Amino acid sequence: MTTLPNGYREVRRVDLMRNRKEAVIVNLLALLITGALMVLGFVFCPPFIEIKIGTHTIFNMAFWMIGVIAYMIFHELIHGVFMKAFSGKKPHYGFTGLYAYAGSEALFSRKQYLTIAFAPVVILGLVIAVLTVAFYETAFWYLYLLQVVNLSGAAGDFYVGFLIARASNDVVVRDLGTDMSFYSSR
């Protein structure tokens, strides 16, 4: 659906690029998630290793950065796949310098948008968790740090999910990627 139902009006707008207060909230949430997960990581796998800087360390760090970039692409593609599945409309993708995004002109129901918001963090989180367990002995910290990126990078999704979960049942959402609007008849 791309046209608002009769009697609907915008009741909330989320724009992390222009609304400094919301951007600070999301970034503080990301830092809080990162801090909590780092403490948890040290509990599960204390890094009792000697750090040696060499070519293999540089290679591993470069490989990890490629993993982070791949993660960001997959995260947004998953948002887009669900947007297309629910609307039939092709999503658009972009990068603002701070945020990667998927957006659509379509309107989504509350339930659909909660699925769109949380699908990447759940799907990729499960994949990364399985890989972290499978490669605990050899690659725990590389994979675990990717999971930290997954969960802290989804702070915006968590924030929006929280807002939508508190919204009325009739709310519909339009997510243009860099900003979103909630519409309701109430």
pLDDT at residue 120 is higher than 80:
yes
Q: What is the DSSP letter of 13?
A: E
**pLDDT (mean) for 49-73:** 77
From the list 174, 179, 180, 186, the residue with the least C-alpha distance to 87 is 174
**pLDDT (mean) for 4-16:** 88
> Can you tell me the distance from the alpha carbon of 186 to that of 181, in angstroms, rounded to the nearest whole number?
15
Residue 186 confidence class, pLDDT cut points 50, 70, 90: confident
pLDDT at residue 1 is higher than 80:
no
pLDDT at residue 50 is higher than 60:
no
Read off the pTM.
0.84
16 three-state secondary structure? coil
pLDDT at residue 47 is higher than 80:
no
Per-residue model confidence (pLDDT) at position 109? 93
pLDDT at residue 40 is higher than 90:
no
The distance from CA 112 to its chain's CA centroid, rounded to whole angstroms, is: 16
Strand partners, 25: none
